[in-house]
Every structure is written in C-alpha cells, then in structure tokens.
Structure 1
Amino acid sequence: MAQHIVTTVYKQGMQFETDSPTGYKALIDTSPENGGNNEGLGPKGMMLSALAGCTGLDIVFVLNKMRADIPKFEMVVKGELTEEHPKTYHTVHLDYHFYGEDLKKDKIQKAVDLSAEQYCGVMEMFRQFCDLKIGVHFHESET
C-alpha cells in the first residue's frame, strides 16, 4: 500500500515547519489576529495550493505528451468557507488561465478534462467535501 509521511515540527509563536515526502520543507503560520506573523502558508491555503499543484502537474505532463506548448499557464483557486466552526470549504472555484497566441485549445481542454476526471487525486478528495467549480480561460496575450 502506498503512503505519504510528513513530519511537522513546532518552531516558535504559531509557526511550524513541515516536510514533504520528497524532503522539501515549508513553513506554516497564521495571521497576526490569530497570534501568528504571516511567515508561512496557512493550512487551508496549503490545501488550495495542493489542488492547483496536483492538477497543474497533470496538465503539463499530458500537454508535453501531446507536444502542445503553453507559453504561460496559471491557476486561481478560491475557497469559500463556512461561517461556523470548524470552518471548512463548502465551495471551491478552480480557474485555469492559458496565455499565448495560437493556443491548441482542444488539446488544452482535453488535458484539463483528463486531470479533472481521471488523474488528479487531490481534486477527487476535494469533491468529497465541497462543491468544486472549474473554469477554463484562454487569453491571446501573455499578460
């Protein structure tokens, strides 16, 4: 059975250092109004980053296989939290933005669909607890 193991160590104040299964480290912190210094990623924000990272890796991998170059690609993920504690995401908006001239829109859409429907495990986990809304946007310029 495959598994991932991370170790998270308390540093100071409200800050922690966590590692990844590949050995990279990241800081976790919170806002000053919650006793932190904003010197690291927030735990819920890390979840949104994990979603973007997982699907982004899928899309780049698939597009490379299709020999479809994308000059610029970004994802904007917005999580809407419940009002009551424990605050959880009830809706998450994942918007893909592809920039460039002569984009191979059909191949890009296929890569997004493959990630969303077949490959992205993090996306599947999000579907278990929130309404996930996906948008794909094509922009002719790179800015």
Structure 2
Amino acid sequence: MKVHLKRLNNDFHFVTTNERGDEVHLDNKSAENPQGSSPMDLLLRGIAGCSGIDIVHILKKQNLELTNLEMEVEGYRDPNAIPKVFEKIDLQIKLEGDLPENKARRAVDLSLEKYCSVAKMLEKTAEIKYEVLLNGTQI
C-alpha cells in the first residue's frame, strides 16, 4: 500500500493519490476555506468505512441483505493535549433490512472487536463505544 502527497497551494491544501489513482484532498480544518478533509477527519471516516465494509461482508456471507447502512462517528480529543489524539470515539450504526437481531449485532461486534484494522489501531489510544440500531430500534 502506497500513497503520494502533493502540496497544491501556499498553505495546507494537499492532494493524496493512491496506487489506483484515487484522489483525496486534505487541508487544515482551521483554514479560511478548507479544500479537503483534515487528517483526523479521515481517521473517523476510516473507521466508518472499515467497519461498514466488514458488516456488509459478514452479512453477505450469511446470505443476509441490508437495504441500508448508515453510521455516525464522533471523535473526542483533549483540546489542551499535544498531540491531540482521539481519547474516545462513539459510533452509531444504523442497519435496515429483514435481518435477525442477533446476526445484525454479531456482525457489528465482529467488525469492531475483531476484524476492523482501523478500530484495532485506534483502540490503542481511544475508548471505542458503539450502539446498533436495526430498523430504528436499538439492539
């Protein structure tokens, strides 16, 4: 896995490109007109994407089909710390479909507690908590 970074202006706007040519823009969140995500924002997007892929994969292996998956991820940092690492990350995972509660919950548990590489890295510095809603009901 390899990523290339190139500075695009005289401030903090960068473009990163991976080996497949996919581009992601980065910028300083405190810039006047940010042109991309902050690096810490990308970490939260990373845990959401990693876990989302796992959940879909686990349920597909069981021939269970989601009709929708959405996730809200919120990270908390001590504003006075240096570096300002995430100390806590909360996820709310919203699943929709004709899924047994136990299988939906198990897919999320397996993702965040075993398979999601991003979660496994972030749990070294942050407490990760999550809740699962299936068709609008917490399970």
Give the TM-score band, short-chain normalised: 0.7 to 0.9
SS in 1 for 2:76: strand
Using the size of structure 1 for normalisation, the TM-score is 0.86
SS of residue paired to 2:102: helix
**Could you tell me the percent identity over the aligned residues?**
30
Indicate which of 119, 123, 140 corresponds to 2:119.
123
Q: Is the 8 A contact 2:104 2:134 kept in 1?
A: no
1:68 to 24, 44, 64: 64
| 8 A Cα contact 1:10 1:17, kept in partner | yes
| Alignment counterpart, residue 110 of structure 2, candidates 114, 119, 126 | 114
Check 1:107–1:21 CA distance in 2 against 1; reply closer, same or farther (3 A cut): farther
**C-alpha contact (below 8 Å) 1:54/1:121 kept by paired residues:** yes
One-letter amino acid of the counterpart of residue 14, structure 1:
F
Counterpart-to-counterpart distance in 1, 2:107 and 2:20: 25
Displacement of 1:62 in angstroms is: 0.9
2:86 is aligned to: 89
- Cα drift, residue 86 of structure 1: 2.4
Cα distance between partner residues in 1 of 2:67 and 2:83: 40
Residue 117 of structure 1: how far off its partner (Å):
2.3
My pick for the range that moved more, 19-28 or 129-138, is 19-28
Alignment of structure 1 residues 53-64 onto 2, 5 Å: 53-64=49-60
Q: 1:1-32 deviations in whole A, cap 9, x for unaligned?
A: xxx2211110113200012344311100123x
Gaps of 5+ in 1: none
Task: Report the RMSD for the aligned CA atoms in angstroms.
Answer: 1.7
Moved over 4 A (4+): none
Q: CA deviation at 1:55?
A: 0.8
Q: Which runs of 5+ in 2 are unaligned?
A: none
The aligned amino acid for 2:5 is: T
| Structure 1: distance between partners of 2:36 and 2:20 | 19
> How many matched pairs?
135
Query: 2:16 touches 2:24 (CA, 8 Å); kept in 1?
Result: yes
TM-score, normalised with respect to structure 2 = 0.88
8 A contact 1:8–1:16 mirrored in 2? yes
Give CA deviations for 1:103-124 in whole Å, capped at 9, x if unaligned. 3222211211211222111110
